[in-house]
Amino acid sequence: LRWLAVVLILRFATNRLNFIHANVKTFITDIYFFLTLFLLLVILGRLINLAAKQAEDRAVKAGRQKEAESLITLLVWVLRLVVIIIVISVSLTHFGVNITGFTVFLAIIGLAVSLAGRDVVADIISGALILVDRPYRVGDRIDLAGLNSWGDVVDIGMRSTKVLTLNNRMVIVPNSQIGKDQIVNYSYPDPSYYDTTDIVVAYDNDVEQVGQLLVDTVRLVEGVQKEREIDALLMEFTENQMVFKVGWWIASYDDLFPVHDRVSRAVIQALKDADIVLPYRKGSVKVEVNSSKE
C-alpha cells in the first residue's frame, strides 16, 4: 500500500509539471499506470491468499480440512483468473483498444473448453456442490444406487469421490454421476441403524406369548441397544401362519450383519426352547393312472 501511495503521489506531481513535453508526460503517465496496475495485482493476490488461509484455518477448526482443500484451491484459481482478465481488459482500454474482440475471443475459448471438457466441467461443478451441500463427508458410510454397494467415503475431490467398499475395493465415482444418483448416508445424522427381520409362526401359538418372547430374546443379544424400543409387531396373516416383524436398534451400521446373525440364531433357539409351533407346508399330490387295453 505504501508503494501504491508513492506511485499515485508521483503521478499527481508529474501531471502538475507544465514544462515537461506532452509526449514525455504521456510516457511517464503510462509507466505510472503499469506500476499502479502491478501493485494492485500484487495487493489483490495477497488478499486472495489471505482469504484462502483464513478459510483453511476455519476448515481445520471445523474438522473439514480435507474436504475444503479442493474447493478452496478451485476458488483461488478462479479468483486469480478473474483478476488477470480484468487487468488485461483495463490495460487494453487504457491504450484505446476495443475490448469487444477480446471479449469475443474469451467467449470462444470458454465455449471450446466447455465442449471439449464437458464431463470434466460437470464433475468439477458437481464436486463443488457436494463440498458446499455436504450430502456426505469423509468417513461416512454411504450407499450409491449406481454403485450397487455401500462403502466408506475415503476422499472427496473436485472430479471424483473415492469409496472403499465392503470387500476392500476402492471405487472412484465421478462427481457428476453421484449428483444424479440417490445417496443413502448411514452415518448422518447419526450412525445408529434400525434393523428388522420377519418371524413366521403357526396359529397354534399364543400371540402375546410369541411377541413377548421375541422382544425378550432380542433384548439380550449382544450389540442390540437395550435402552431403545424393540418391536415385535404382528404384520400379516396368511392361510396357515402369522408373520411378526421384529425390529431393533444397533449403534452403527458397521454392526449390521454380525448383530443380525446373532439375533437370528437367538430367535431360532428361543422358539425351540419355548416349544413354539412353526407353520407347516401344505401340499397336494395329484396321481394320474393311465390304463390301456391291448
Q: Read off the pLDDT of each residue in 264-292 and give the average, rounded to a whole number.
A: 74
Listed range (56-60, 144-148, 256-260) with the worst mean pLDDT? 144-148
Q: Read off the pLDDT of each residue in 136-141 and give the average, rounded to a whole number.
A: 86
Q: Read off the pLDDT of each residue in 203-226 and give the average, rounded to a whole number.
A: 93
148: left (phi over 0), alpha (psi -120 to 50) or beta: left
**Residue 293 pLDDT:** 43
C-alpha cell belonging to residue 120: 470434466
User: Is there a shared CATH topology between the 135-185 domain and the 193-273 domain?
Assistant: no
Whether 187 has a pLDDT exceeding 80, the answer reads: yes
Residues with Cβ < 8 Å from 142, sequence gap 6 or more? Answer: 136, 150, 151, 152, 153, 163, 183, 184, 185, 186, 187
Per mean pLDDT, which of 172-186, 190-204, 273-287 is the most reliable? Answer: 190-204
Whether 294 has a pLDDT exceeding 50, the answer reads: no
Whether 212 has a pLDDT exceeding 90, the answer reads: yes
Whether 257 has a pLDDT exceeding 80, the answer reads: yes
**Residue 291 pLDDT:** 47
CA dist., res. 30 & res. 32, Å (int): 5
233: left (phi over 0), alpha (psi -120 to 50) or beta: beta
- How would residue 133 be classed by pLDDT, with cut points 50, 70 and 90? confident
**Residue 91 pLDDT:** 77
Q: Read off the pLDDT of each residue in 125-151 and give the average, rounded to a whole number.
A: 79
Q: What is the pLDDT of residues 36-94, one digit of tens each?
A: 777 778 888 888 888 888 877 877 776 666 666 767 777 787 788 888 878 777 777 77
Q: Look at residues 266, 48, 109 and name the one whose alpha carbon lies nearest to residue 56.
A: 48
Q: Which fold has domain 135-185?
A: SH3 type barrels. (2.30.30)
**Residue 67 pLDDT:** 63
Rounded mean pLDDT of the chain? 79
Q: What percent of the chain has pLDDT over 70?
A: 73
- How would residue 96 be classed by pLDDT, with cut points 50, 70 and 90? confident
Residue pair 150/143 in contact (Cβ under 8 Å)? The answer is: yes
**Residue 48 pLDDT:** 82
Q: Which fold has domain 193-273?
A: Alpha-Beta Plaits (3.30.70)
Angle at the Cα of 89 (from 15 to 4), degrees rounded to 5?
A: 45
CA dist., res. 244 & res. 253, Å (int): 23
Q: Look at residues 246, 194, 192 and name the one whose alpha carbon lies nearest to residue 218.
A: 246
**Residue 292 pLDDT:** 45
Q: Read off the pLDDT of each residue in 263-281 and give the average, rounded to a whole number.
A: 88
Residue spans per domain, the chain: 2-116, 135-185, 193-273
**Residue 102 pLDDT:** 64
- pTM attached to this predicted model: 0.57
What angle in degrees, to the nearest 10, is found between the helix axes of 65-94 and 118-133? 120
Q: What percent of the chain has pLDDT over 90?
A: 22
**Residue 183 pLDDT:** 84
**Residue 273 pLDDT:** 92
Q: What letters, b where the CB count within 10 A reaches 16 and e where it falls short, cover 47-64?
A: ebeeeeeebbeebeeeeb
Listed range (222-226, 228-232, 287-291) with the worst mean pLDDT? 287-291
**Residue 15 pLDDT:** 60
Per mean pLDDT, which of 12-26, 92-106, 256-270 is the most reliable? Answer: 256-270
